[in-house]
Structure 1
């Protein structure tokens, strides 16, 4: 089990991250660039010291500035899979995996036996004698994972482990990684920018912005009720904050949205881009949420097109290519946007997590 409070001062940046991960639990750490994810990984791995707080793993203090206790990287029961894998280019896959056990005191023969077992577990027994340059991206990722797990880590750190793979390989490797993480008895921390990786692989999500946790919980809770613009974009929702009275939420600029839920006080209101209908003119018998908007951008989004709109509120709408052609949607054109109240959900804002 990991029990940590990561406090780091780097110039004007301040990281303050409480983090607990149970044995067998996988936690995903997400956040925009500069949020502090890499700093968190470096301090956990022992590559950078804490300014305050503590890191306790399986009952052992690894870093506690107030008592001047600090355990170096090689003595921590931690395995790490780097984004670019960082395999030793001059070593075979077998010896790459054996490196960790050797550093932890195993003799050459014993380390190689352990490494062979791990390569078999990740389906690479036949690649044992190959060097990294002879491996595919997916194979290199599996060697890196085997190397990290071969030291029997109490904490497994994964830094964007699938980011370097092409889309097809990524799909296969996500499924394999899910299998191995489920079998790992220790704690696991996954740092990723990809919400799908987090939703598929993690038991719990921690969202970090500007060095602080803004939201934490299981995937269902976070996707249903995002609490910042970053989280809303991450899960694909339009999100606004305002003051609710009954079914009406008045945003900061005075624009009103009618929601299906009744609340009083500070509230968020959210709806999916696919809930936004676009019309060339104000629709007859229009829904209660209807407003004129100007198209600012059009991008492919899966099988649909994502239309970016400005106006009383900034909003994203997902429509089919056929509908886009029929509406003659081009940047700069004005359209009418409409969202049914039944598809607009409000919930109490409260403080960030």
Structure 2
């Protein structure tokens, strides 16, 4: 049996959450999804802050459905950290152990050990307002871990940090999570946080799990438009007929993969070549398109094109200048069959 074994069914107005979650000892799982997908509802249900209307919730073999929030062996790091502003960093971390019955001296000893582990041994007397964002995040993590939680819940743990602090803190957080013997669930909308911190990803949309697996599986075979955008792929669904996938409007994409029945076909924007005229030669997939939009995308340009299918392409600024790209321009799109991946839509 998994350390965490849950089916979370919860109602919030017209919204209904119904997802299954299993996490093994020492495993970190990231719960990913767009805004309104149910990520925070799931976290609050696990913490006991949102009541379940159905399903089950066991942690370490113990049924938690009737257990009050304060008695659950769970540590939570909220998005805004929610440190007690009137308490020092040391007293913030000692708060949980005190609630669990330790006397002041013992609780402070626990807090001192955790502040040392997160690199803040010299900051114990500081109030939250005297800490940087990264330091406050580490105090919140130490506070959550100081109660030896069986389950650690992290709600957008890096969202409040600036880009540079986020990069540094992400590496530190990964090290602490690797040392945590219990189960960890990270709720995030940031794919990089999920890919760096988690062993496994669970994708939720509209209160349901739409895909789960390790990063390699998710990125290689996305199953919804949201997941495709998350991992940066063009994704289409249609009917496989060997080396071809026919989309609902009759447009056909060719792949070197063989697939039959309901299928997806995907390819990265970098695989899309743009031509001012219909190209000759090897590409099996060519079609006319109209340039809809051009945006900066890292060191390249992300071009969105309309036509028989909408497609995103990545090109260099030099190539864009050479073709004189402007919105409304007519172009030809080419994608080699070998650059596509076709796979069954089920399974």
* TM-score (structure 1 length as normaliser): 0.96
Q: Which of 34, 46, 49 is equivalent to 1:47?
A: 49
- What is the rounded CA distance, in whole Å, between the counterparts of 1:60 and 1:210 in structure 2? 29
Q: Distance in 1 between matches of 2:55 and 2:289?
A: 49
**Alpha-carbon displacement from aligned partner over 1:263-282 (angstroms, at most 9, x marks no partner):** 11111000001000111121
Q: Find the partner of 1:231 among 222, 227, 234.
A: 227
Aligned counterparts of 1:82 and 1:332: Cα–Cα separation in 2: 46
Please tell me whether residue 149 in structure 1 is matched to residue 145 in structure 2: yes
Counterpart check, 1:6 vs 2:8: yes
1:111 pairs with one of 107, 110, 124: 107
- Paired with 2:294 and 2:83, the residues of 1 have a C-alpha distance of 41
Is the 8 Å Cα contact of residues 291 and 327 (structure 2) preserved in structure 1? yes
> Displacement, 1:285?
2.3
Query: 1:260: which partner in 2?
Result: 256
Name stretches of at least 5 consecutive residues in structure 2 with no aligned partner. none
Q: 1:247, CA displacement in angstroms?
A: 0.7
Q: Give the structure 1 partner of residue 314 of structure 2.
A: 318
2:48 and 2:69 in contact (8 A); partners too: yes
* CA offsets 1:149-207 (integer angstroms, 9 cap, x no match): 00100000001101111111111111111100000000000111111111111111111
Quote the RMSD (CA, aligned, Å).
1.0
Aligned mate of 1:34, from 33, 36, 39: 36
> Within the alignment, does 1:293 sit opposite 2:327 as a pair?
no
Q: Deviations over 1:283-324 (max 9, x none)?
A: 222611111111222221111111111111111111111111
Deviations 1:9-66 (A, max 9, x none): 2222111111111111100100111111011011101111100011111121111xxx
Contact persistence 2:10–2:50 (CA under 8 A): no
Q: Which runs of 5+ in 1 are unaligned?
A: 64-69
Deviation at 1:3, TM superposition (A): 0.9
Structure 2 residue 203 is the aligned partner of structure 1 residue 201:
no
Q: String of CA shifts for 1:87-140, please: whole Å, max 9, x gaps.
A: 111111111111111111111111111001000000000111111111111111
Q: Aligned partners of 1:319 and 1:163: how far apart in 2?
A: 30
2:130 is the counterpart of 1:134: yes
The TM-score normalised by the length of structure 2 is 0.98
- 1:66 match: none
User: In the aligned structure 2, how far is the partner of 1:327 from the partner of 1:81?
Assistant: 50
SS in 2 for 1:118: helix
Tell me how far apart the structure 2 counterparts of residues 26 and 130 of structure 1 sit (CA, whole Å).
31
- Aligned mates of 2:127, 2:277 — CA distance in 1: 63
How far does the alpha carbon of each residue in 1:307-349 deviate from its partner, in whole angstroms, 9 at most, with x for none? Answer: 1111111111111111111111122222111111110110011
- Contact 2:9–2:55 under 8 Å retained in 1: yes
Runs of 4+ in 1 over 4 A off after TM superposition: none
1:262 CA displacement: 1.0
Count residues with an aligned counterpart. Answer: 345
CA distance in 2, matches of 1:93, 1:44: 26
Higher deviation after alignment, 167-176 or 268-277: 167-176
Partner residue of 1:330 out of 311, 326, 330 = 326
d(CA) in 2 for partners of 1:260 and 1:106?
64
| Conserved? CA contact 1:286–1:338, under 8 Å | no
1:67 aligns to what? none
